[in-house]
A and B are shown apart, each in its own frame.
Chain A
Amino acid sequence: GENVEQHPSTLSVQEGDSAVIKCTYSDSASNYFPWYKQELGKGPQLIIDIRSNVGEKKDQRIAVTLNKTAKHFSLHITETQPEDSAVYFCAAQRAGSYQLTFGKGTKLSVIP
């Protein structure tokens, strides 16, 4: 089955700096890659996603890039703010499947 590795497990940045979280996946048939943000005590919230026919997608301060050849994708957050502090999860989904396979999460701390 699919295996998703996520790095780093923790990340601290100064407010205003950029943060990058990286994920690799094992199943070449995966074609959907969402990112979720989870604040303390809440459920995961979808913040951005990318499909395999696209190399990059941006939404204001966040962007996701996908390299299908290398089987890795990354989340980029620019101009970080304290409210960006949370746990971020990447996930991958095989074409035709209902199942998302999640990475183990990255705890991002933005220091004011």
Chain B
Amino acid sequence: NAGVTQTPKFQVLKTGQSMTLQCAQDMNHNSMYWYRQDPGMGLRLIYYSASEGTTDKGEVPNGYNVSRLNKREFSLRLESAAPSQTSVYFCASGFRGSSYEQYFGPGTRLTVT
């Protein structure tokens, strides 16, 4: 049981390049999330997917797109990377219903030059 996995662990992009961050969970969770973490800013929600087939914007969605590929996988795409998107990106997953817990992956450290 790997929990939440993310690839890649590290990535360097040039301004204007595109890339997709991958996330998968094996806990049969319904909801999945993408956060970014910047120094002194805590974690901020980019997008989330309440269930397979649905996605919604979070606090900071500009410059990002997401795809909920199936129940297990939720990807985050940067179409034209900017230096302001340099950050550590975390994927999380969780159940709904009586339990609200979210479980995080190990993160992807992205640098845009």
Contacts and interface: CB of A to CB of B under 8 A. Distances in A.
A binds B: yes
Given A44-B90, A89-B42, A105-B42, A100 B102 contact: yes
B102 A102 contact: no
B83 interface: no
B33 to A, nearest CB: 8
A85 interface: no
Contact of A100 (B45, B50, B56, B107): B45
B41 A104 contact: yes
A34 B90 contact: no
B43 interface: yes
Interface in A13-66: 32, 34, 36, 42-46, 49
Contact of B100 (A32, A36, A105): A32
Contact of B31 (A44, A49, A98): A98
B106 A46 contact: no
A45 B104 contact: yes
Contacts of A45: 104
B45 A43 contact: no
Contacts of A36: 104
Interface string B33-74: 100000011111100101000001011000000000000000
Contacts of A103: 42
B103 A46 contact: yes
Q: Which 7 A-B pairs have the closest CB atoms?
A: A43-B104, A102-B42, A104-B42, A102-B43, A32-B100, A44-B104, A43-B106
Given A44-B90, A104-B40, A105-B42, 14 more contacts: A1-B59, A34-B102, A42-B106, A43-B90, A49-B100, A89-B42, A89-B43, A93-B100, A98-B48, A99-B45, A100-B43, A102-B42, A102-B43, A104-B41
